[in-house]
Amino acid sequence: MAIAIQPYSADLIPAVKGFNQRLVAGGVAPEFHFPENNIPHWLPKLEGRRIHQEYYLAVDGDCVRGGFILKYQDFFFHGKPQPVVYYHLPISEGIVNKAYAGVGVHMLRSALKLQPMLFALGMGGFDRPLPQMLKVMGWSLCAVPFYFRVNHPAKFLREVAPLRETKSRRLLAALAAVTGVGSAGIKLINSLRTGSPEHGLFVEQVGGFTERDDDLWEQSREHYKLIADRACATLNALYPRSKNFLCIKVSHASRFIGWAVLLDTQMRDNKYFGNMRLGSIVDCLALPENALAVMQAATQFLEQRGVDLIISNQSHHAWGGALKSSGFLETRSNFIFGASKPLAELLSPFQNNQNQVFLNRGDGDGPVNL
């Protein structure tokens, strides 16, 4: 029987459970199992709200052989509305049973038929199966730069994964932490790389976003080649008060110039961050010329809370530059942006313009694992 792509309806929940059981038997990690509820837990479709997710399944008779999610959020190209849809969690039985090797391609082509302007984000690195498949299908790919700033060098040297990978690195890191040599080096790097702080900044922690904040969104969006909707209704859906998000608003000379959404998370045996207290600059917005002020304010806010390390992914050059001027270092990124052929044509030339697109951890599937 031919496999058909169809929306996920409640009657297919048992078939999805069966699909997940076959993935478990094949050793697939739980984060790659398909949701066992047809109503999305995150961003369900609600009356009057534009941002939402839709689930699709690859159905083969009574069985489910794969699924994917489309996230709908308004995008703006040079300030003008532009439909762009996020393709995520494509998972196919092909990863545990090669008889279904074609399901992944089938799902991707079906998604492109539904929405030609597709993008993918994250994906764990260029060498993973999904980016490889996207590349073969002519998608344009680039890494969204990753930035970090060390606040507590001794803890960083003890906990960060690349320094714990081999016995000799572990020993060197332990020595550097104990003797203070590593701490002194990192503090020196921070002081050399941190520019003068902006004067007259005022930072206020807020519980959420209001319609008064939308003026900034309307002024800012035309300054970015491509940016996802960041009006207050969308922000409050993405960063609900019930979660641990820290929202700050930044003013300069009594004028509201930008905001940032942050996280302060105590990690526990995390594969990348060990047991560090991790500060994340998840999302932000300002005119490009005010990016530095917002990044400095966010950095200071997280430092004062006592985080060991601050991280951020930012695609736009103004925000990357602002992070570097705030003492951040850039390192290899596994956070990959993939644009379908029509989307890459819109952004053409993609390689030259990728750093004018505004993307960060607030995009895609949000700040997962942070």
Partner 1 sequence: MSAPFFERVRGIAADILEVRPNQITPQSSSENIETWDSVHHLNLILAFEQEFGVQLEPEEIDEMNNVERIISILEQKLNHHG
The dihedral over CA atoms of 173, 163, 281, 197, expressed in degrees to the nearest 10, equals 40
Q: Which residues, 56 to 75, sit near partner 1 by CB under 8 A?
A: 58, 65
Interface residue with partner 1, options 45, 109, 243, 255 (CB under 8 A): 109
Cα-based distances in Å from 151 to 191, 263, 307? 11, 15, 7
Interface residue with partner 1, options 13, 28, 96, 105 (CB under 8 A): 105
CB of 97 to partner 1, least distance (A): 8
What order of strands is seen across the sheet that includes strand 357-358?
80-82, 75-77, 226-228, 357-358
349: preceding bond cis by omega (within 30 degrees): yes
Question: Under the criterion CB under 8 A, does residue 28 sit at the interface with partner 1?
Answer: no
CB of 353 to partner 1, least distance (A): 26
Residue closer to partner 1 by CB (options 3, 16) is: 3
User: In angstroms, rounded to a whole number, what is the distance separating the alpha carbons of residues 302 and 268?
Assistant: 19
Q: Which residues, 289 to 308, sit near partner 1 by CB under 8 A?
A: none
Residue closer to partner 1 by CB (options 132, 166) is: 132
Strand-pair category, 357-358 with 226-228: parallel
Residue closer to partner 1 by CB (options 131, 320) is: 131
At 28, give phi and psi (nearest 5°).
-80, 135
Residue closer to partner 1 by CB (options 100, 146) is: 100
Residue closer to partner 1 by CB (options 104, 338) is: 104
Q: By the 8 A CB rule, do 88 and 67 touch?
A: no
Single-letter amino acid code for the residue at 24: V
- Hey, how many other C-beta atoms are within 10 angstroms of the C-beta on 254? 7
Question: Under the criterion CB under 8 A, does residue 4 sit at the interface with partner 1?
Answer: yes
User: In angstroms, rounded to a whole number, what is the distance separating the alpha carbons of residues 145 and 331?
Assistant: 7
Interface residue with partner 1, options 15, 75, 84, 104 (CB under 8 A): 104
Q: Which stretch binds partner 1 (CB under 8 A): 93-101, 160-168, 196-204, 356-364?
A: 93-101
Residue closer to partner 1 by CB (options 106, 221) is: 106
At 172, give phi and psi (nearest 5°).
-60, -45
Residue closer to partner 1 by CB (options 59, 248) is: 59
Tell me, residue by residue from 126 to 165, as one string, x for binding to partner 1 by CB under 8 A and - for no binding.
Answer: ---x--xx--xx----------------------------
Q: Which stretch binds partner 1 (CB under 8 A): 70-78, 91-99, 307-315, 316-324?
A: 91-99
Q: Which residues, 313 to 342, sit near partner 1 by CB under 8 A?
A: none
Q: By the 8 A CB rule, do 92 and 122 touch?
A: no
* Dihedral class, residue 306 (left if φ above 0, else alpha if ψ from -120 to 50, else beta): left
Q: How many residues bind partner 1 (CB under 8 A)?
A: 27
Binding site for partner 1 (CB under 8 A): 2-5, 58, 65, 92, 94-95, 98-107, 109-110, 113, 129, 132-133, 136-137
